Amino acid sequence: MARTKRPRKLKDFGEASPRVRRGTMILSVLCGILLWFFLSNLPGIGVILAGPQDIVEKALPELMNDGATGEFERFLLFKHITWSFRRVLSGWAIAFVCAIPIAFLMAWYRGFRYVVDPWIQFFRTIPPIALIPMVILMMGTGEQAKTTVIFITSFLVMTVTIYQGVKNIDMTLVKAAYTFGAGDLSIFARVVIPYSFPFILTAARLGVSTALTTLIAAEMTGTFYGLGSMIQTAQIYFRMDKVILGIICIGVIGFILDRLLLFAEKKLTRWV
């Protein structure tokens, strides 16, 4: 007698309950910290990989020293975070405002796309650190140079992402709009923009991550304050506790900004 096959269960790609998500994330973080502590106490590795105890006992007290004078000002770590956050936010915001019209023009007009697309793809493959000498010669070592480096990399990533979203629009929607007598402007406003809106928010998230990864290169143009500057200075003096603290701060900033953009995406794209 032939055995009947059990029906395969459909894969569930949905989200778990908020309690399960939060619990899993907290457990993952705790396991990561325990693994970090274990590796930092191994012979050889502990010399390079500073542990959580080194961050708490050495790096944080020095950077939060409220009694030091001279170059070590009060709450120096907060100064580093504030200056880096300003640079990332300003470069990303300018890039986001510029990327949206450029991406829409590339998708809407073929002639414009043929002219701009080769340059977008060309500069997208260049590492940010390679642009630093040219940026310094053109703008000096002030804040404009740092914002420009972050702007360039974020702009390229967001432009390509938004362009792909507009270009891959469902043509059935466009044909249906034409059938009902809609003009180009109406189609652009009522079909193209709503359809590509999720891609715009995704591009914003990618732009933030790119801006943060470019921060170290941007602050190589010369500065005293900033997480990138802190990491570079600590590397010279082999203060790996400060290096890791700077990396953690950049990661936390990126995680918070990504969560905020993801929250905005869920709230603003409920109709998708």
Least confident range from 41-50, 169-178, 220-229, 247-256: namely 169-178
Maximum pairwise Cα distance, the chain: 88
* Residue-wise pLDDT tens digits, 82-112: 888 989 999 999 999 999 999 988 888 888 9
Specify burial of residue 27 (Cβ count, 10 A radius: 0-12, 13-18, 19+): exposed
Domain extents in the chain: 82-225
Q: What does the pLDDT read at residue 69?
A: 46
CA angle, 6 then 10 then 13, to 5°? 155
Does residue 187 have a pLDDT over 60? yes
Instruction: Tell me the residue type at 193.
Output: I
Does residue 44 have a pLDDT over 60? yes
Across all residues in the chain, what is the average pLDDT? 82
Q: What does the pLDDT read at residue 154?
A: 92
* Residue-wise pLDDT tens digits, 199-239: 888 899 999 988 988 888 888 777 778 888 888 888 888 88
List of residues 6+ apart from 50 with CB closer than 8 A:
40, 59, 240, 241, 243, 244
Q: What does the pLDDT read at residue 67?
A: 44
Does residue 68 have a pLDDT over 70? no
Please provide the DSSP assignment of the chain as one string.
-PPPPPPPPPP--S---HHHHHHHHHHHHHHHHHHHHHHHTSTTHHHHS--HHHIIIIIHHHHT-SS--TTS-TTHHHHHHHHHHHHHHHHHHHHHHHHHHHHHHHHH-HHHHHHHHHHHHHHHTS-HHHHHHHHHHHHTTSHHHHHHHHHHHHHHHHHHHHHHHHHT--HHHHHHHHHTT--HHHHIIIIIHHHHHHHHHHHHHHHHHHHHHHHHHHGGGS-SSSHHHHHHHHHHTT-HHHHHHHHHHHHHHHHHHHHHHHHHHHHHTTT-
Give me the percent of the chain exceeding a pLDDT of 90: 14
Q: What does the pLDDT read at residue 41?
A: 85
Q: What does the pLDDT read at residue 6?
A: 66
Structure-model confidence comparison of residues 32 and 133, the more confident one:
32
Q: Across residues 43-69, what is the average pLDDT? A: 76
Considering only the top CATH level, what class is 82-225? Answer: mainly alpha
Q: What does the pLDDT read at residue 155?
A: 93
pTM of the model: 0.80
